[in-house]
Chains A and B, each alone.
Chain A
Amino acid sequence: MLTFVVRRLLLAVPVLLGVVFVVMLTVDLLPGDAVTLMLGEHATKDAVARLRDHLGLDKPFLVRYLDYVGRVARGDLGRSIQQNRPVGDELADAWPATLQLTVAALLVATVVGLAAGITSAVWPNSLFDAMARLGSLFGLSMPVFWTGLVLIVVFALWLNWLPVGGAGSLGHLVLPTVTLALPSVAMIARMTRSAVLDVLREDYVRTARAKGVAEPWVLARHALRNAFIPILTLLGLQSGQLMGGAVLTETVFAWPGLGRLMVKAIFARDYVLLQGAVLVFALAFVVINLLVDLSYGLLDPRVGRQG
């Protein structure tokens, strides 16, 4: 078990190195550079040259890459080009907000999605099932920025129940959470419905029913436990999806998270800050995947024994 975890974490190192390389190369290839954007269109050639030199931007790409990796290995994420502030501080400011939003959305998506999916599976083709399927279709097809604005108009402008945007109170969290969770609710509900329906057709469920096990017990002990493996995979993927989706949701709701920080860094061609943010995202992905893999073992004892 421990060697499994250690091996997986070590494998993350080349992944992160690759991620940094690709991000840095992309920023390098984009037209426009940080210095021109900072000094503006009217800057003198001399000023541009001096700032490039100061920031080390005149060094070759590979030298900059190795420099950066070396510094990160020593725990130094560098200073952001635009704000000249430690990237660690910037990330520490933004990370909790994104975590809060992602976790809240994941919780809502899981609880609502599972409940809707199980209900649909137990009473397939009922009125509830039809409504849930329609709702899922809606949730999946509506873009986040549109749902977000509609929710703002209804709950902030017309009803005046919730704030328009920003962070601070629990009330501020409601609309962005709902907006972000909606597509995931739909995905999880559909996946749960089909997984539970499949399992309910299995022989062992029929056996359980035949030997007189009560229906709720059949559902909880036999059906759900087995249906949960594909759902868990989906949850792992969804948490990544939610972090990515947070970029748009954070913009619509003025939520001060990592997604906004990243967008800002891209527009400013601030590759130091961008890499810091991408590293955090990549690391979070690695950890979530690891957790999902570990929990397979808890649900299905066979998984642990094979490794």
Chain B
Amino acid sequence: MRALASRLVGGVLVLGLVASLVPAATAQKRGGTLTIVRPTDPVSLDPNLETTAPGAWVYFNMLEGLLTLDDKMQVKPALATSYEVLSPTKVRFKLRPNVKFHDGTPFNAEAVKFTFDRALKGSPPARWASLAGSLDHAEVVDPLTVDVVTKEPYGPILRTLAMYCVGIVSPTAVQKLGQDFSRAPVGTGPFKFVEWKTNTHVIVERFNDYWGDKALVDRVIFKVVPEEGARMIALQTGDADMVLFPSPAQLPALRKDAKFTVHETTGIRVVFAGLHAGMPPLDDVRVRQALLHAVDRKAILDNIMEGSAGPALGVLAPGVFGYKDMQLDKVYPFDRARAKALLAQAGWTPGPDGILQKGGQRLSLSWLAARGRYPKDGEITEAIQAMFKEVGVEAKVQILEWAAVFKQVREATLNHHMFTLGWVTSNADADYSLYALFHSKQTPPTGWNTSRYANARVDALVEQARRSLNQTEREKLYGEVQDILVKEMVWIPVYTTKEIIVSRASVKGFHVHPVEYNLALWKTWLDK
């Protein structure tokens, strides 16, 4: 109880006044049209109906939440100016005054309540409700004060509210447009909706009454070009200024070409080879450690990923709140002698065919993987299979269609030793990964603990961190979780994805965000 009381005291934190005060830069030019090509048309421009990239890239520029994540992954104010933790389940937000929606409706606490009720109480609930954890509803205190209430104490609440899909919508527009709102959303963001021609383009233009720094370009056209080759040609001819999902094979040449700029940053997805810790022989921690030593992860990054991915330094990506560098390269350096020694300690001796054996059983692991779900997932699986063989471990790889892999890893029993998967920490808070992936009660079909990892201490720590609203304390708890995990590794982390966008050199002021969906275009300008 005392810990709880101390959290309540002095919970007031001012988030800062304005998002950023850009110095009156000399060269910035206003105006022009920014044309972006990307592979697919949105499903919808309403976060209630779409949380995937094609829609999010567009609506992220039109709808704003109470909070946002800057490109350093720090929580920054958007429509809220400050917050105060009232109780473990209630956070009070002061709202930004004099903000208007694109349709002229004033932004206020009612709009926040309306947005949350529509998303969380509607039938069916919003697509993002699954990502929002314990978020329950909002209560209007006065026009510029709102209380956000969770079903239970929920530490990740701030990063949940800063997710790209938790944008506040104009209540009048929703009531007026009904179903059509999903094709013409109205928010408070720096761009407002102009036109959506299905499978052709979506156009947005600068919102001149925006409360903050106004967008620099007049309009942005998001064009659909499904064919990768055609997308790259559009960039070269100048039909497009920016291409999303560029062809990886062309990146080395584009990096050297002064006509183009390759924008890249480390993303928040970790791709890994998972180990089933509940199934012999992987229930022996020495065998799991040996497998980590057996894999030359640097060779995979250099030769297979070819600069399109970053190293995986732990089970989380560096931008995620609560991330701790697990120093995997120091703890588990690529060292075949150590791998063999650990396996020998565990009682495995070389057999006649070069594969290790114990009591007549060969050290043979069955491995489930898909091809094409994550960049180079099939190739890395095959590479690791070959590396295992060098230390006397046989891997029987089964490559299936993603839907079939997904079905098997989501079932209550998993009959494979290993599986190639990737995980995105969607709300950028360690809870989303460490709780769902490593809590012993989160085994499928409930959660994603596909490794069947069970450690009572880890359970207690992730539960405590979820219930705490003290972010310093949470960071410490997650650090401790990762200290335990590194000793008992149930994954072979292979790489962290990179977010890569290519533009023509005339596109200035653009920063690629670690979260794929957060495609912020209001500071981008055209030098042409």
Residues on A facing B (Cβ under 8 Å)? 31-32, 36, 38-45, 47, 50-51, 54-55, 82-85, 90, 93-94, 145, 148-149, 152-153, 156-157, 160, 163-167, 251-254, 256-257, 260-261, 264, 268
Instruction: Please state if A167 and B40 are interface contacts (CB–CB under 8 Å).
Output: no
Taking the complex as formed, is B33 at the interface, i.e. its CB lies under 8 A from any CB of chain A?
no
Contact B226–A45 (Cβ < 8 Å)? no
Closest-by-CB residue of A relative to B224 is A254
In the complex, how many angstroms separate the beta carbon of B237 from the nearest chain A beta carbon? 6
A32 with B130, Cβ < 8 A, contacts A50-B123, A145-B227, A165-B234 known: no
Contact with A along B219-230 (1 / 0, CB 8 A): 000011111011
Tell whether, in the assembled complex, residue B230 and residue A149 are in contact, meaning their CB atoms are under 8 Å apart: yes
B130 touches A40 (CB 8 A): yes
Contacts of B224-260 to chain A: CB distance below 8 A = 224-227, 229-230, 233-234, 236-237, 239
CB of B97 within 8 Å of the partner chain = no
Contact status B52-A40, CB under 8 Å = yes
Selecting from B9-17, B400-408, B460-468, the interface stretch reads B400-408
Bound Cα distance A180, B200 (Å): 19
Is A85 a contact partner of B179 (Cβ separation < 8 A)?
yes
Query: In angstroms, how far is the closest chain A Cβ from the Cβ of B242?
Result: 15
Contact of A51 (CB < 8 Å), options: B124, B199, B229, B426: B124
Verify B404–A31 contact, CB threshold 8 A: yes
8 A Cβ contacts from B98-147 to A = 123-125, 127, 129-131
Complex formed: what's the CA distance from A45 to B401 in Å?
A: 22
Contacts of A257 in B (CB 8 A): 199
B residues within 8 A CB of A55?
Answer: 124
Query: Closest Cβ of chain A: how far from B159's Cβ, in Å?
Result: 15
Cβ–Cβ < 8 Å partners of B230 in chain A: 149, 152, 164-165, 252-254
Q: A82-B43, A164-B233 are in contact. Are A38 and B127 (CB under 8 A)?
A: yes
From known contacts A47-B125, A51-B124, infer whether A156 and B237 are also in contact, taking CB-CB under 8 Å.
Answer: yes
CA distance A44 to B151 in the complex (A): 16
Given contacts A40-B51, A40-B130, A164-B239, contact A260 B233 (CB under 8 A): no
Smallest CB separation, A197 vs chain B (Å): 40
B212 at the A interface (CB under 8 A): no
Cβ–Cβ contact A166 & B200, under 8 A: yes
**Is the CB of B354 closer than 8 A to any CB of chain A?**
no
Per the bound structure, the CA–CA distance linking A197 and B409 in Å amounts to 64
Shortest CB-to-CB span from B297 to chain A, Å, is: 24
B174 to chain A, nearest CB (A): 14
A254 pairs with B426, CB closer than 8 A: no
Specify the chain A residue showing the minimal Cβ separation from B236. A157
Q: List CB contacts (< 8 Å) of B2-48 with chain A.
A: 40-41, 43-44
Chain A residues near B239: list those with CB within 8 A. Answer: 156, 163-164
| Closest 4 pairs (CB-CB, A-B) | A256-B199, A32-B403, A31-B403, A54-B124
A-B contact pairs, 25 of them (CB 8 A): A32-B403, A40-B51, A40-B52, A42-B130, A43-B130, A45-B445, A47-B124, A47-B130, A84-B44, A84-B179, A84-B182, A94-B199, A153-B233, A156-B233, A157-B237, A160-B237, A164-B237, A165-B225, A165-B234, A166-B223, A252-B227, A256-B197, A257-B199, A260-B226, A264-B199
* B49 lies within 8 A of chain A by Cβ: yes
- Is B448's CB within 8 Å of the partner chain A? yes
Answer yes or no: B198 CB below 8 A from chain A CBs: yes
Residue in contact with A47 in the complex, picked from B129, B225, B236, B406, CB distance below 8 Å? B129
Q: Is B338 an interface residue (CB 8 A)?
A: no
Chain A residues near B127 (CB-CB < 8 A)? 38-40
A-B contact count (CB 8 A): 118
Measured in the bound complex, the distance between the Cα atoms of B408 and A32 in whole Å is: 12
Q: Are B407 and A31 in contact (CB under 8 A)?
A: yes
Complex: A47 Cα to B131 Cα, angstroms: 11
* B224 CB contacts on chain A under 8 angstroms: 254, 256
A253–B225 alpha-carbon span in the complex (Å): 7
CB proximity of A58 to chain B, nearest CB, Å: 13
> A31-B407, A149-B230 given as contacts; is B199 within 8 A of A261 (CB)?
yes
B183 interface contact, C-beta 8 A: yes
Complex contacts, A156 vs chain B, CB 8 Å: 233, 237, 239
Chain A: CB-nearest residue to B37: A254
B476 to chain A, nearest CB (A): 26
Q: How close is A272's CB to chain B, nearest CB, in angstroms?
A: 14
User: Is the pair A44, B199 in contact by a Cβ cutoff of 8 Å?
Assistant: no
- For B129, the chain A residues whose CB sits under 8 A away are 47
Provide the bound-state CA to CA distance between A219 and B246, in Å. Answer: 55
Chain B residues 253 to 291 lying within 8 A of chain A, measured CB to CB, are none
- Inside 8 A of A160's CB, which chain B residues have their CB? 237
Q: A93-B198, A157-B233, A256-B197 are in contact. Are A54 and B123 (CB under 8 A)?
A: yes
A260 to B272, CA, bound (A): 34
B200, B225, B403, B404, most chain A CB atoms within 10 A:
B200
B183 touches A85 (CB 8 A): yes
In the bound complex, how far is the Cα of B76 from the Cα of A302, in angstroms?
A: 81
Alpha-carbon separation in the docked complex, A268 to B436 (Å): 26
Question: Is B227 in contact with A167, judged by CB distance below 8 angstroms?
Answer: no
- CA A166 – CA B200 in complex, angstroms? 7
Q: Which residues of A contact B52 (CB under 8 A)?
A: 40
**Cα–Cα distance between A149 and B225 once the two chains are bound (Å):** 13
Give Cα distance in the complex from A47 to B119, angstroms: 12
How close is B296's CB to chain A, nearest CB, in angstroms?
Answer: 29
Q: Which residue of A lies closest to B129 (CB)?
A: A47
Name the CB-closest residue of B to A255: B199
For B227, give its contact among A40, A50, A93, A149 (CB under 8 Å). A149
Interface string of B398-423 (1 = CB under 8 A from A): 00010110110000000000000000
CB distance from A169 to the nearest CB of B (A): 13
**Distance (Å) between the CB of A255 and the closest chain B CB?**
8
CA gap between A166 and B229 in the complex, in Å: 14
Residue-wise, chain B 420-460 has the 8 Å CB interface mask toward A (1 for contact) of 00000010000000001000000001101000000000000
- Asked if residues A251 and B233 are in contact (CB atoms below 8 Å), the reply is no
Q: A152-B233, A163-B239 are in contact. Are A83 and B123 (CB under 8 A)?
A: no
Bound complex: CA A11 to CA B410 (Å): 46
Of the candidates A31, A39, A42, A251, the one whose C-beta lies within 8 Å of that of B226 is A251
Instruction: Give the residue name and chain of the B residue nearest to A267 (CB).
Output: B40
**Which residues on the A side are within 8 Å of B229 (C-beta)?**
149, 152
Are B125 and A167 interface neighbours, CB within 8 A? Answer: no
> In the bound complex, how far is the Cα of B407 from the Cα of A55, in angstroms?
21
Give the shortest distance, in Å, between A265 (CB) and chain B (any CB): 11
- For B426, list chain A residues within 8 Å (CB): 42
B237:A264 contact, CB within 8 angstroms: no
Q: A55-B124, A268-B43 are in contact. List 7 more A-B contacts (CB 8 A).
A: A41-B406, A42-B131, A42-B436, A45-B446, A47-B129, A82-B43, A149-B229
**Of all chain A residues, which has the CB nearest B131?**
A42
Q: How far is the CA of A44 from the CA of B223 in the complex (A)?
A: 33
- Residues in A with CB closer than 8 Å to B43 are 38, 82-83, 268
**A85–B206 CA distance with the chains assembled, in angstroms:** 27
Q: Which residue of B lies closest to A48 (CB)?
A: B130
**Bound-complex Cα distance A45 to B447 (A):** 10
A167 touching B200 by the CB < 8 A rule?
yes
| Docked CA distance A132–B229 (Å) | 30
A273 CB → nearest B CB, Å: 11
- Chain B, Cβ-Cβ closest to A263: B226
Instruction: Write the nearest CB–CB distance from B135 to chain A, whole angstroms.
Output: 13
Of B41, B127, B230, chain A has the most CB atoms within 10 Å of the CB of B230
